[in-house]
A and B are shown apart, each in its own frame.
Chain A
Amino acid sequence: MSLDPKQVKHIATLARIKVPDSDLAGLVNELNGIMTWIEQLNEVKVDGVEPMAGVLSRDLPERKDVVSDGGDPEKVLKNAPDRAHGFFVVPKVVE
């Protein structure tokens, strides 16, 4: 199967990346080139094989449920493109 322009536009929206219509055709071709190459994975028998999320075959360690960091808003906000009154500022989201 291959991706069509409508699907690619949808993927771009899910990924929050604006794609101008003029770039769409090229992107469809590139993504289809990669996905076609990936299709070879369909020839591998995977029945009964457990999916592997990572190489560590152990439970992740838990730490004590205590505050170990924080309380420094100045550090957190230091690189913010826009800030006010100790908060990050974003475009208005509530009418």
Chain B
Amino acid sequence: MAELNHNTIAGALDGLAKKQFSARELAGAHVMQMAKHRDLNAYVTETPEKALAMAEASDARRAKGEAGLMEGIPLGIKDLFCTEGVLTTAGSHILDGFKPTYESTVTANLWKAGAVMLGKLNMDEFAMGSSNGTSYHGPVTNPWRRRGENTRLVPGGSSGGSAAAVAARMALAATGTDTGGSIRQPAAFTGIVGLKPTYGRCSRWGIVAFASSLDQAGPMCRSVEDAAIMLTAMAGHDPKDSTSVDIAVPDFRKAVEGGVKGLKVGIPKEYRLDGLAPEIAKLWEQGAAWLKEQGAEIKEISLPHTKYALPVYYIIAPAEASSNLARYDGVRFGLRVPGESLDDMYERTRAEGFGKEVKRRIMIGTYVLSAGYYDAYYVRAQRIRALILKDFTDAFKDVDVVLTPSTPSAAFGLEEKFDDPVAMYLNDVFTVTVNLAGLPGISVPAGVDGRGLPLGLQLIGRAFDEETVLKAGRAIERAASFTLAPEGF
């Protein structure tokens, strides 16, 4: 039963249906791969016994003819999703020992569809980071290496463990969350597909909150079709999340092979940044050419407020985080550091429990919301956010989908220092606008750079039009025929 873990979701569902292998064998192959590549530090918690028990239950359901949409598919779960009875840390020291007594809606939906849990995946602390370097559990190593080099590279972030695990065949697919690019950037860095759905498509209930008006869960997979299958299982209205939208969930898989004939594809001129790496620019042009060859019409568009998206994000996201993270006070769960008074206990617990980047963002958020600065920073950022959304609304009058690079570079080195936080923030320059506007976006592996590292292209669609995003993503995937896997996995 070698190589079962090299399958796609679609391929595995087919093999399971034809009884070529069992869900237990499929789970077992992944459990072995997880044990073999522990040095990547992709998993915070492995749950092999749970995986095998869930897989056996899945086999029993299938035998009774009760197979669900994801029946028997073994998944890794980002450690931001609350999983009942299983350690959930959000990559933070402050959630030490936290075992939720409830299950997030998205993971509950996946288990209901028959999926099997392999374990919980490493991530940047509270999803704040672009390298997985802010995790309390240590960095994750990207399974990819530069050609002829042994330098350890980052998998991107914040869903870095998810990306590394899927690329290294330690999970057939994984959940991620995306607040400013946290699904799409690591997907691009590891040569996999990452989809951020429309805000409101997946329930946020039971996902540790970072920035509530931006956070959205999505699938991280090895094909566009897999992302479509998994999104169908994850999505749906949830009365427990007031921002979850009550709208029918299509069978996204049916949209994937729809083709791009007659589709209008926008190329935003403001994304041609000064100093954009020639390799990235070339891949972007290639992507447009691929879509044109398949019958799409390419149009230049303008998104004039693009350059303000990152600074707007770095007001709005920290503001929301400072409020959301107020709950970590040493009283109800996680770490407590004793103090002389209640306030002293709060201050000591939060000083020790939060890492540097999280503290920085809480303090920025506290500042921009504080008396005297609220209008100058927070309200101004909210107004510019409206202008960014308007840019897209105007553009989508002329085009059906927007094509951009996913990231400004390929994966960088684990040891490359980012002393300047702003330099790290620039990783999300192409992805963050999508969160501010609440739109769906996908990153699809489209090629490699001069040193053999994967690069991604991003497609952005209208709100609740994931189907067009998937169709166009599939067209890129078909043309790029990116079949490379990291060496040695």
Contact = CB atoms under 8 A, between A and B. Distances in A.
Contacts of A31: 360, 363-364, 367
A4 to B, nearest CB: 13
Interface in B403-422: 420-422
A50 B329 contact: no
A66 interface: no
B363 A17 contact: yes
Given A38-B377, A44-B305, A81 B351 contact: no
Contacts of A93: 341-342
A75 to B, nearest CB: 4
Interface in B358-396: 359-360, 362-364, 366-367, 370, 377, 379-387, 389
B344, B351, B367, B380: which has the most chain A beta carbons within 10 Å?
B367
Contact of B242 (A8, A13, A42, A60): A60
Interface stretch (B62-70, B248-256, B309-317): B309-317
Interface residues of B, number: 69
B370 A11 contact: yes
B346 interface: yes
Given A17-B359, A56-B199, A75 B101 contact: yes
Contacts of B350: 15-18
A87 to B, nearest CB: 11
Interface string B206-244: 000000010000000000000000000000000100110
Interface of A: 3, 8, 11-19, 27, 30-31, 33-35, 37-38, 40-42, 44, 46, 49-56, 60-61, 63, 75-76, 78-82, 88, 90-91, 93
Given A17-B347, A30-B360, A56-B200, 12 more contacts: A12-B363, A16-B329, A17-B350, A37-B314, A38-B315, A51-B386, A56-B243, A61-B242, A75-B101, A79-B98, A81-B330, A91-B345
